[in-house]
Amino acid sequence: MHVLIFGAAGMVGRKLTEHLAHSGRLGGSEVTALTLLDAVPAEKPAGFSGKLATASLDIAEPGAAARALAARPDVVFHLAAIVSGEAEADFDKGYRINLDGTRHILEAIRQEGIKSPYRARLVFASSIAVFGAPFPERIGDEFFNTPLTSYGTQKAMSELLLGDYSRRGFLDGIAIRLPTICIRPGKPNKAASGFFSNILREPLAGQEAVLPVPDTVRHWHASPRAAVGFLTHAATMDLAAMGARRALTMPGLSATVAEQIEALRRAAGEKAVRLIRREPDPVIAKIVEGWPRNFDARRAVQLGFRPDASFDEIVRIHIDEELGGKPPVLR
């Protein structure tokens, strides 16, 4: 099986690549070839015995997606995107990458199928940014899309396009709306959502972190491992059960900041919790107020997608995958 990843150099792309390279399998099939594409060169994963190709490309450049698809991969993961803040700051670039880029990928698959029968599985990483306040406390599977960002608009438009290409039989597509990834590995970043990870990752490493919102703030999370599980399940499940409705909110874990902090306390003790400095930021608090807090992602669960079991598990996954099994703050 040939697997191609657009956006392989991003955080989720790297986690997915590591998983595929390490296991060597996707569902019941052996991964014999792996093509890693991104705007910047993707790192080559260790331990992959199949055929590996990496290249940098701009999915919005005419012909780029077509050239990438000429190898007719069996499964295409489309994780490439300009992030929310950048899509808001640069209107043209956001539409160019997040909408036109997606359309180029879909169209490249369709054009391959016009040459001779070909119908790739396409897994598209969408976002809960397709929803915008006001919404119910728990957002159901039939709630309408009301994005409040250009990024969310581009994701919602891409979902619709993928649905139509799937309905027409040009490809077999599924769009999965990923929760906020927590604990995001790496350095603290300035994204408004950064603190959800920062307040756990930094204290676990023995570093201070800033909490800009009240403890009562509730949000929707998934570990990097759960996200990889969503992607691989989406790539291998029978999509016939979805009918024409190919966009799906993934089952995250809804938790308050207080619940996050309690999980940190259980994993790394009072010393870690004391590293969280409360520094209310009304600007961030206001942004976060407009974000979804909780979902009733019943359809995804029925279709076999599995959330993290608890916030303790989310913390434990980070300690296992990033900290060699023991948080530095306890060393």
Catalytic site residue 165?
no
Indicate the residue among 242 and 329 with the shorter CB distance to its own copies: 242
Indicate the residue among 161 and 284 with the shorter CB distance to its own copies: 161
Enumerate residues 165-184 that contact its own copies by CB under 8 A: 167-168
Enumerate residues 281-320 that contact its own copies by CB under 8 A: none
Indicate the residue among 147 and 185 with the shorter CB distance to its own copies: 147
Amino acid at 11: M
Indicate the residue among 37 and 65 with the shorter CB distance to its own copies: 65
DSSP 153-208: HHHHHHHHHHHHHHHTTS-EEEEEEE-EESSPPSS---STTHHHHHHHHHHHTT--
Question: Smallest distance, Å, CB 174 to its own copies?
Answer: 15
Contact in structure between 248 and 236 (CB atoms under 8 Å): no
Residue 241 makes contact with its own copies by CB under 8 A: no
Per-residue contact string for residues 183-222; x = within reach of its own copies by CB under 8 A: ----------------------------------------
Q: Which of 91, 138, 258, 306 binds its own copies (CB under 8 A)?
A: 91
CA distances from 98 to 70, 148, 213, 251, 326 (A): 21, 15, 30, 23, 38
Indicate the residue among 170 and 305 with the shorter CB distance to its own copies: 170
- Taking the C-alpha atoms of residue 142 and residue 128, their distance in angstroms, rounded to an integer, is 13
Sign of the C-alpha dihedral computed for residues 175, 180, 185 and 190 taken in this order: positive
Q: Distance between terminal CA atoms of the chain? A: 43
Enumerate residues 133-162 that contact its own copies by CB under 8 A: 141-148, 150, 153, 156-157, 160-161
Q: Which of 45, 163, 212, 292 binds its own copies (CB under 8 A)?
A: 163
- Taking the C-alpha atoms of residue 216 and residue 247, their distance in angstroms, rounded to an integer, is 30
Q: Which one of 95, 118, 151, 165 is the catalytic residue?
A: 151
Structure tokens at 322: 């990033």
Enumerate residues 258-287 that contact its own copies by CB under 8 A: none
> What is the phi-psi region of residue 24: left when phi exceeds 0, alpha when psi lies from -120 to 50, beta otherwise?
left
The residues that touch its own copies, with contacts defined as CB under 8 A, are 91, 132, 141-148, 150, 153, 156-157, 160-161, 163-164, 167-168, 244-245
- Positions annotated as catalytic residues are 151
